[in-house]
Amino acid sequence: MSFLSRTIRPARVAHCARMATTGFAPRAFSTSFVAQKSATEAVKDGVKTVDRAVSDKIVDGIEVGQTAAQKAREVAGMSSSEAKSKASELTGETKGKTSELTGAAKGKKEELKGEAKGKL
């Protein structure tokens, strides 16, 4: 035998013998998943919890706004259909005023344009 084979074999045998004497603890038998979560799963769960809490608060805020608007309508003595009709009426008035002012602005522009041509 060569020098290397004589020195390596006893070292391996000694190492294997040491492993056999220390022994290994048997694993517990279980068919369920590991109870511990990975870092990614833990972060996802945290984000879901925060998202749920925020969305619940937003929904609560929307509901409070709706009830406040309903109470304001009741205090003003208008139902929702009356409020919509009043809003459309005011929209019509606003459109009329806008077109009137647009026409006046165009007229003023033409007037100033005529004056400028007359001076040249």
Dihedrals phi, psi of 93, to nearest 5 degrees: -60, -40
How far apart CA 113 and CA 116 sit, in angstroms, is: 5
Q: Tens of pLDDT along 3-41?
A: 666 666 655 555 555 555 555 556 666 666 666 778 888
Q: Tens of pLDDT along 63-94?
A: 888 888 887 777 777 667 777 788 888 888 88
The band of 118, judged by pLDDT with boundaries at 50, 70 and 90, is confident
Q: Give the number of C-alpha atoms closer than 13 A to the C-alpha of residue 118, restricted to the C-beta side.
A: 6
Instruction: Quote the pLDDT of residue 7.
Output: 63
Instruction: Quote the pLDDT of residue 71.
Output: 79
Given a contact cutoff of 8 angstroms between Cβ atoms, the answer to whether 83 and 73 are in contact is yes
Instruction: Quote the pLDDT of residue 27.
Output: 63
| 69-74-80-81 Cα dihedral, nearest 10 degrees | -160
The band of 52, judged by pLDDT with boundaries at 50, 70 and 90, is confident
How far apart CA 12 and CA 5 sit, in angstroms, is: 11
Instruction: Quote the pLDDT of residue 87.
Output: 83
How far apart CA 72 and CA 69 sit, in angstroms, is: 5
Q: Provide the mean pLDDT of the chain.
A: 75
How far apart CA 63 and CA 56 sit, in angstroms, is: 11
Residue with the bigger pLDDT between 103 and 37: it is 103
Q: Give the number of C-alpha atoms closer than 13 A to the C-alpha of residue 13, restricted to the C-beta side.
A: 6
How far apart CA 14 and CA 58 sit, in angstroms, is: 69
